[in-house]
């Protein structure tokens, strides 16, 4: 049988080992608890700006003269005089003589017509006198006769009518000869610029021969195509609206002011556009010191549209189903429903739904939800505060 010593020694060793293990376990430090960190999406924002804005409509067109006249000969003859102003690009005043046709034949015709008129006037006066004598003679005879009604031939009424007709025909001949003589002077019908000239000194012309083309410098017209949907942004569909025209002149951009005077009232078959017609007074600056708006120039036009007192300009890609994501003061996301009045140049013009200074989220979010926590990029936010206002941004987009 085992002795007591053989029994207690293993038990003592086991107890000691358990005690040592317990002491070691007690001495071991528990693992430090780490705080849970939540990684929030970093977003860029831009403060909303509310400013007045004009719903202007852009267009373009060619400058043309409102009035343009072809000069043609109304009588035949040889060109004996050509004005030095009658050259392409020359400016002429109303009534200035541009071309003179040889007047000798027409002066002779006028002299002959005046002579015929004098003869006809004399014959008419003689016939009136004879008719007066015949009437007096009949009055004397009728007192001693039963005849009460004289014949018209006796009273010389047919003869008087013939002389009167010849006199009127002679008057018409004088008017015709005078008019033909006046037509030997080809005059400018209005203040104009010579657009074309096709005759020279010594040329022989006939009625209908083409002399040249003149364009009135008093008023210029520009046909401006406007999409039918853009008419809603113009007051009274654009009539009487102010227009700013711009074009390059001598290497510099110059602007002119115009006004819409009418609509052509139809949609063009090819372009499917409605054409508004703008007018510019004194385009060549004859009565004022201004850069000339030359006929044939291509100009860009800005038609003044409706005025909106408060509007926000938002990039179009940030608006989904009329909703915009904004960052609240507690760094949570909210959606704002905006009222869109126009989409233009990848921008949206909204009139309500966004308050001034609200931070519009401009960076993309994979799964945005209402109330989600976000981490704003403060560096970007500070730089956004220096952005230009609504109208400046829109103008930059259009450029």
The rounded mean pLDDT for the chain is 83
Which CATH number applies to 59-63+217-303: 2.30.33.40, 3.40.50.1110, 2.40.30.170, 3.20.80.10? 2.40.30.170
Question: Strand, coil or helix: what is 216?
Answer: strand
Mean pLDDT of all residues in 96-104: 93
Q: Is the pLDDT of residue 379 over 80?
A: no
Determine contact, residues 98/85, Cβ cutoff 8 Å.
yes
Q: Is 336 a residue whose pLDDT tops 60?
A: yes
Are the beta carbons of 261 and 277 closer than 8 angstroms? yes
Short-list 98, 107, 95, 94, CA closest to 80: 98
Predicted confidence (pLDDT) at residue 280 exceeds the cutoff of 90 = yes
- Asked if the model's pLDDT at residue 91 lies above 90, the reply is yes
- The whole-number pLDDT of residue 41 equals 81
Of 135-149, 299-313, 382-396, the range with the highest mean pLDDT is 299-313
- At 380, the pLDDT band (50, 70, 90 cuts) reads very low
- Average of per-residue pLDDT across 278-302: 88
Domain 43-53+308-398 classified CATH 2.30.40.10? no
User: Which of 40 and 122 is assigned the larger pLDDT?
Assistant: 122
Q: Burial of 252 by CB count in 10 Å (0-12 exposed, 13-18 middle, 19+ buried)?
A: exposed
Structural contact between residues 98 and 188, judged by C-beta atoms closer than 8 angstroms: yes
pTM (predicted TM-score): 0.71
Q: What's the confidence (pLDDT) of residue 6?
A: 61
The full set of domain ranges for the chain reads 43-53+308-398, 59-63+217-303, 104-182
What percentage of the chain has pLDDT greater than the value 90?
39
pLDDT of residue 146: 59
User: Is residue 349 packed enough to be buried (19+ CB in 10 Å), middle (13-18) or exposed (0-12)?
Assistant: buried
The answer to whether the beta carbons of residues 45 and 361 sit under 8 Å apart is: yes
pLDDT at residue 58 greater than cutoff 50: yes
Which residues have a Cβ under 8 Å from the Cβ of 275 and sit 6 or more positions away?
A: 223, 224, 225, 226, 263, 264, 268
| Per-residue pLDDT reduced to its tens digit, 226-277 | 998 899 899 998 899 999 999 988 888 999 999 999 999 888 888 889 999 9
Q: Is the pLDDT of residue 27 over 80?
A: no
> What number is the average pLDDT over the span 36-57?
84
Instruction: Say how many Å lie between the first and final Cα of the chain, rounded.
Output: 111
Q: Using CA atoms, how far apart are residues 383 and 376, in angstroms rounded to an integer?
A: 13
Q: Which residue has the higher pLDDT, 136 or 295?
A: 295
> Residue 125: pLDDT above 80?
yes
The DSSP bridge pattern shows strands 42-43 and 375-376 to be parallel
Classify residue 339 as left (phi > 0), alpha (psi -120 to 50) or beta. Answer: beta
Examine the pLDDT at 53 and tell me if it is beyond 50.
yes
Q: State the DSSP string of 358-370.
A: -EEE-S--SS--T
């Amino acid at each position: 049988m085992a002795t007591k010593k053989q029994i207690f020694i293993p038990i003592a060793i086991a107890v000691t080992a358990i005690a040592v293990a317990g002491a070691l376990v007690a001495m071991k430090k528990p693992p430090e608890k780490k705080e849970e960190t939540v990684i929030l999406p970093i977003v860029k924002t831009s403060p909303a700006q509310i400013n007045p804005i004009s719903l202007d409509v852009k267009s373009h067109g060619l400058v043309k003269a409102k009035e343009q006249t072809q000069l043609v000969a109304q009588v035949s003859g040889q060109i004996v005089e050509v004005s030095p102003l009658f050259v392409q690009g020359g400016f002429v005043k109303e009534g200035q003589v541009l071309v003179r046709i040889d007047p000798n034949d027409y002066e002779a015709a006028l002299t002959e017509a005046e002579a015929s008129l004098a003869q006809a006037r004399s014959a008419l006066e003689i016939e009136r006198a004879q008719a007066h004598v015949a009437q007096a003679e009949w009055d004397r005879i009728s007192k001693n006769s039963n005849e009460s009604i004289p014949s018209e031939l006796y009273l010389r009424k047919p003869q008087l009518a013939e002389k009167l007709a010849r006199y009127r025909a002679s008057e018409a001949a004088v008017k015709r000869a005078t008019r033909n003589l006046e037509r030997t002077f080809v005059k400018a019908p209005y203040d104009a610029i010579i657009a074309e000239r096709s005759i020279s000194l010594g040329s022989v012309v006939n009625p209908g021969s083409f002399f040249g083309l003149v364009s009135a410098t008093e008023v210029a017209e520009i046909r401006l195509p406007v999409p039918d949907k853009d008419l809603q942004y113009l007051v009274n569909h654009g009539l009487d609206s102010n227009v700013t025209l711009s074009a390059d002149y001598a290497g510099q951009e110059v602007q002119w002011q115009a006004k819409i005077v009418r609509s052509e009232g139809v949609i063009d078959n090819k372009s499917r556009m409605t054409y508004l017609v703008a007018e510019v007074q004194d385009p060549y600056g004859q009565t004022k010191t201004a850069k000339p708006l030359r006929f044939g120039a291509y100009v860009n036009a800005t038609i003044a549209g409706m005025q909106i007192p408060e509007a926000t300009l938002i990039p179009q890609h940030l608006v989904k189903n009329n909703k915009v994501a904004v960052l609240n003061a507690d760094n949570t996301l909210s959606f704002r429903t905006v009222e869109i009045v126009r989409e233009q140049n990848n921008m949206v013009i909204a009139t309500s739904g966004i308050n001034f200074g609200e931070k519009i989220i401009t960076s993309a979010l994979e799964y945005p939800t209402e109330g989600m926590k976000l981490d704003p990029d403060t560096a970007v936010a500070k730089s956004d505060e220096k952005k230009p206002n609504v109208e400046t941004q829109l103008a930059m987009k259009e450029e």
